[in-house]
Amino acid sequence: MREVFNTTVNSLQNQEPCVLVSVVRTKGSTPQKPGAKLIVRADGSAAGTLGGGCVEGDIWFAAKELIRSRGTAIVKDYFLNEELAARDGLVCGGTMYFLLDSIQDSTSMLSHLQEIQKAYDGGPAVGLATVVKPPKGSQIPIGKKILIRSDQTKTGTLGSTQLDKHVQRRLSALMDYGQSEFVTRDDGTEVFLEAFTTPPQLVVMGGGHIARCLSELSMSMGFALYIIDDRPEFANPERFPNAINTIVSSYDTGLDRVPVSRNTFIVIATRGHQFDDVAAETAALSQAGYVGLLGSKRKCLMIYQALFERGIPEALIRRIRGPVGLDLGGRTPEEIALSIMAEITMERLGGNGRPMKMPESLFAKAKRQSSQSSVKS
């Protein structure tokens, strides 16, 4: 995603016309989900992806035509039927809705994109709302935007004070994890909301075996990693080369050296109960969006009891997920780390943790259609 924005900023700064394509909505099974982007420039070069195959080729062609005609923003839907999908090796059959945003000579869009870049680099989170379908009879154009910042200041308008306030509330709720949402209003207005913030941060309090496994997994998933341990031999760059910072500190002060935000995920995995107590209290009092406690149910029960005895409010204690992770049945450090990152991913992306296995009715449908095909042949 960052590559797409960087390429778009460079194109605008060089006064090169381009079209920014965004997946704003999907139905059924599709190769990409809302938020996926592709930037197409006048010379035909592109950055990003919409899922490849026929989808990307056809949308690329439409974007090139938009540049050639110097047209304004348009919306296209694309039905990926089973035959079309199979031709490109895509096992899917849904509908994708694209916003093709012609942003040539757009000073305001350049300013929006530069603020998004700053959000990725650690600046304040921002949200962008774009009109996909204006209300009936309105003069509001497709592609009209408003930028909302985490301090609730804004630039631009969608043409309606009521609509501006609505998307401002929704974007504020999406900023913690940098999520997207498609909004349909009663008057028929459709708006695509996107929030942008720093990459997710993983803070592991304790530099043992689990931390090392979490280090490898979190790096591959784009997390910025911080390690806190009061022992130099367990918190150092040699042991954790992927970490942004390895902090040698007591567990009651170590978080002071981490830029904790709602997009921060803390895992408490120290070497003993007495250290877990302190780490859990510090993490619960922080601004982190997620706090997980490694250990058995008995151990977590003892930690919760200790926190109650220290006068920590119940609402803060309930923020601590203990035992941390999804029940995958794992026992090794690698398996436990996988269960922890699975739960963090579920929380961050709004999943439910249930198996994606198709229901029996769809399995029966495949069997039935197979039998019908055999009869015809």
Q: Residue 286: what pLDDT?
A: 95
Domain boundary among 68, 102, 136: 102
- Judgement on whether residues 342 and 260 belong to the same structural domain of the protein: yes
Q: Residue 326: what pLDDT?
A: 96
> Which structural domain range is residue 16 located in?
2-102
Residue 324 placed within a domain: yes
- How many separate helices (H) and strands (E) can be counted in the chain? 11, 16
- Judgement on whether residues 51 and 174 belong to the same structural domain of the protein: no
- Residue 142 pLDDT grade (very low, low, confident, very high; cuts 50, 70, 90): very high
- Across the chain, mean pLDDT equals 90
In this predicted model, what pLDDT tens digit does every residue of 290-309 receive, in sequence order? 999 999 999 999 999 999 99
Residue 330 placed within a domain: yes
Is 81 a residue whose pLDDT tops 70? no
Q: Quick one: what percent of the chain has pLDDT higher than 70?
A: 94
- Written as one string, the DSSP assignment of 311-359 is T--HHHHTTEESS-S------SHHHHHHHHHHHHHHHHHT------PPP
Question: Which token pair is 250?
Answer: 């007591």
Question: Which token pair is 332?
Answer: 């090794």
Is 359 a residue whose pLDDT tops 90? no
Question: φ and ψ at 8, to 5 degrees?
Answer: -65, -40
Question: φ and ψ at 84, to 5 degrees?
Answer: -65, -40
Per-residue pLDDT, averaged over 235-248, amounts to 96
- Judgement on whether residues 52 and 183 belong to the same structural domain of the protein: no
- Judgement on whether residues 192 and 212 belong to the same structural domain of the protein: no
Q: Residue 138: what pLDDT?
A: 84
Q: Residue 350: what pLDDT?
A: 83
Q: Which helix H or strand E contains 155, and what residues bound it? A: strand 154-156
Q: Residue 377: what pLDDT?
A: 59
In this predicted model, what pLDDT tens digit does every residue of 296-346 receive, in sequence order? 999 999 999 999 999 999 999 999 999 999 999 999 999 999 999 999 999
Q: What is the strand order of the sheet 264-268 is part of?
A: 245-248, 224-229, 201-205, 264-268, 290-293, 320-321
Work out the angle at residue 199's Cα, subtended by the Cα atoms of residues 196 and 205, and round it to the nearest 5 degrees: 140
Domain boundary among 196, 217, 250: 196
pTM: predicted TM-score of the whole model, two decimal places: 0.74
In this predicted model, what pLDDT tens digit does every residue of 164-217 receive, in sequence order? 999 999 999 999 888 899 999 988 999 999 999 988 999 999 999 999 999 999
Residue 118 placed within a domain: yes
Q: Residue 93: what pLDDT?
A: 64
What is residue 150's DSSP assignment?
A: T
Residue 294 placed within a domain: yes
Is 90 a residue whose pLDDT tops 60? no
- Judgement on whether residues 260 and 122 belong to the same structural domain of the protein: no
- Judgement on whether residues 175 and 116 belong to the same structural domain of the protein: yes
- Judgement on whether residues 146 and 258 belong to the same structural domain of the protein: no
d(CA 99, CA 59): 10
Domain boundary among 196, 214, 236: 196
Residue 150 placed within a domain: yes
- Residue 153 pLDDT grade (very low, low, confident, very high; cuts 50, 70, 90): very high
Domains of the chain: total: 3
Residue 34 placed within a domain: yes
- Judgement on whether residues 95 and 128 belong to the same structural domain of the protein: no
Residue 377 placed within a domain: no
Q: Residue 300: what pLDDT?
A: 95
| Domain at 289, CATH number | 3.40.50.720
What is residue 223's DSSP assignment?
A: P
Is 235 a residue whose pLDDT tops 90? yes
Per-residue pLDDT, averaged over 124-136, amounts to 93
Per-residue pLDDT, averaged over 62-72, amounts to 92
The residue assigned the tokens 């895992």 is: 267
Residue 355 placed within a domain: no
Is 92 a residue whose pLDDT tops 70? no
- Judgement on whether residues 180 and 218 belong to the same structural domain of the protein: no
- Judgement on whether residues 149 and 261 belong to the same structural domain of the protein: no
Q: Residue 370: what pLDDT?
A: 81
The residue assigned the tokens 């996107």 is: 194
- Judgement on whether residues 222 and 309 belong to the same structural domain of the protein: yes
- Judgement on whether residues 326 and 212 belong to the same structural domain of the protein: yes
